[in-house]
Structures are given as C-alpha cells and as structure tokens.
Amino acid sequence: MSPVLSKILPEEQKMLELKYSGKRFGQMVPSEILSSAKEVLLRIHVIAGWTMPPDELIAILVDEFSKKIIESYPNVTAEEIGYAFRSGSHQVKEWGKALNIGLIDEVMVPYLERRFELSKFEEQKKQIEHKPDLAQIEKEYQEFLQTDLGKKLNPKI
C-alpha cells in the first residue's frame, strides 16, 4: 500500500480491529489453545461447509490444528481466523471436502499476507504522523536565538 493513502477500506479496518482484539494464540496456555482450536474448527465447518472427520479422528484433527496454530499462527486471534473464512473463503475451490489443515492454509495464507501488508502500512502511517514539524522547530529555534541566552550562545547574530 502506498503511504499516500490516508484512509483504509472498511474490511482493512476490521482486520486491524481484530488484530488487536482477543488473545493471540501465542499468549495462550495449552488448555486454552486446545479449546480455541476445537471452537475454531467448528466455526470453519459452519462457515465453509467442510465435512468434519469421523468422531475417532476429531481429537487428532484438534491436536494437529493446535500444533499448526502455534507453529504458523501464534500472532493471530481466534476471531481473526473466523473473519478470514467469512471474508476470504469464496476464493477456495475445494468446498465440500473434508476439513483438513492444508485447506485451512488456503484461506489463512492470503489473509496473513494481506494482514502483513496492512501492518506495514499502519507502521508507515504511524511514522508519518510522528514526524516532527520542522517549520515549528525552526521557528522556535529562531525565537530562541533572539533571547539573551540565544545571543550569548550564538554571538554571530
């Protein structure tokens, strides 16, 4: 994104809100991760329509997804994953398949790439907003030079 852009789109604003809301997976204890992983998988099932594996495989899916969360998404919140699927799931061509870790990446990787670009833009905007006002600094410096102390420190004036 160009630093010239001063406004962001509503969906980008939503991404930023979600980025800062909720607890990130990397800040959770293992029991919270397992609980969140199960809830997120159920949400993905509802949003995407992917079929859940048989009961005997659910525990394995939750365990593997918990590991995937820590390895690939430690800085993401559960709310962000839900939003990624609600907003970007139309791009996935494999609907109707059984829920698996690879299909989750098909939605999350593009979401995280977009989030990264948005975060870079956010940082650039913060830097621009915090730049010193050079005209004001120069004005104050010139006023200082006119004071007695300024004249003593810079006798050339």
Give domain limits for the chain.
10-132
* 27 and 66 Cβ atoms separated by less than 8 Å: no
Q: What is the pLDDT of residues 97-155, one digit of tens each?
A: 778 888 888 889 999 999 988 888 878 777 766 667 777 778 777 877 787 776 777 77
- Helix %, strand %, coil % of the chain (to 5): 70, 5, 25
Residues 157, 143: Cα–Cα separation, whole Å: 12
Q: What distance in Å separates the CA atoms of residue 99 and residue 94, rounded to the nearest whole number?
A: 10
Q: What is the mean pLDDT of residues 9-19?
A: 87
DSSP letter at 1? -
Does 3 score more than 90 pLDDT?
no
pLDDT in tens, 52-109: 888 889 999 999 999 999 999 999 999 999 999 998 766 666 655 778 888 888 889 9
Cα 41–Cα 45–Cα 48 angle in degrees, nearest 5:
125
> What is the structure's pLDDT at 154?
76
Whole-model pTM above 0.75? no
Q: How confident is the model at residue 38 (pLDDT cuts 50, 70, 90)?
A: very high
